[in-house]
Structure 1
């Protein structure tokens, strides 16, 4: 679905396009601090908060983890924050989907650019390479 790039951020998008936040999901790139850095893409509902300090850090096996910067996200995925999608990510990049995402009938997530969103059956995420469904990835 087309989207005004100025309204691509989740809250603005949901309000402008009448999408319930609980039916919107964000794909967030995270990085584990270390040499080399470890990356993963996390898909969580917009009504939840990615648990970077516990769930992500533990899964990455690092002492410190954070959200990847806009620059890291663009360099690794080719996508801008606000448009990142779980579909078409680089091979070998872990994709972790919070189990609550699968409980929705449909979810709207980034379409690869700030001017596009995808409305999909969340079960489609299960077909992605390197995907894992994670309980309590978000709080």
Structure 2
């Protein structure tokens, strides 16, 4: 198996769902570049994005959205996080909180008390590609694996399809 983090490997191996670990050149780990280089469909790629409150008590949540969608930060995320303002967590905050690098963040192996919100459209895919917890691997998994994670919740309308320009 590629160099996934040990805790992520353990989650995959303990799961009843099929999975594949794919090696990835770290320079090609960002979603759009990865999909183009490795011939993967963006609609099957799911990004795990850490968000944080900007006002009030500091709160975080991890959101899983398809690469073809945009996270609804200002409405859905803000309301669910119960914050007046929210933003994306920095690369440093993401690394500190999850132990994972931007370009490889995955919904697996996150802190047990971190809310994990999954856009409903992710669950409609047959399989999805997630980061491997680092920039050198990707995980191809059944999206049902996400709902087995602590604090996981499927959220209708968490993200919206990105309008394609003509």
Report the TM-score when normalising by structure 2.
0.82
Determine the structure 1 residue equivalent to 2:106: 85
Q: Once the 2 structures are TM-superposed, how far is the Cα of residue 63 of structure 1 from its aligned partner?
A: 0.4
Give the greater-gyration-radius structure (CA): 2
The list of structure 1 runs, each at least 4 consecutive aligned residues, that deviate by more than 4 angstroms after superposition, is none
Determine the structure 1 residue equivalent to 2:147: 126
Determine the structure 2 residue equivalent to 1:18: 39
Could you list the runs of 5+ residues in structure 1 that have no partner in the other structure? none
Deviations 1:17-65 (A, max 9, x none): 0000000000000001234310000000000001111110010000000
Could you list the runs of 5+ residues in structure 2 that have no partner in the other structure? 1-21, 161-166
Determine the structure 2 residue equivalent to 1:101: 122
Deviations 1:83-115 (A, max 9, x none): 000000011000000000000000001010000
CA distance in structure 2 between the partners assigned to 1:23 and 1:94 by the alignment? 23
Q: Which deviates the most, 27-36 or 105-114?
A: 27-36
Determine the structure 2 residue equivalent to 1:60: 81
Count residues with an aligned counterpart.
139
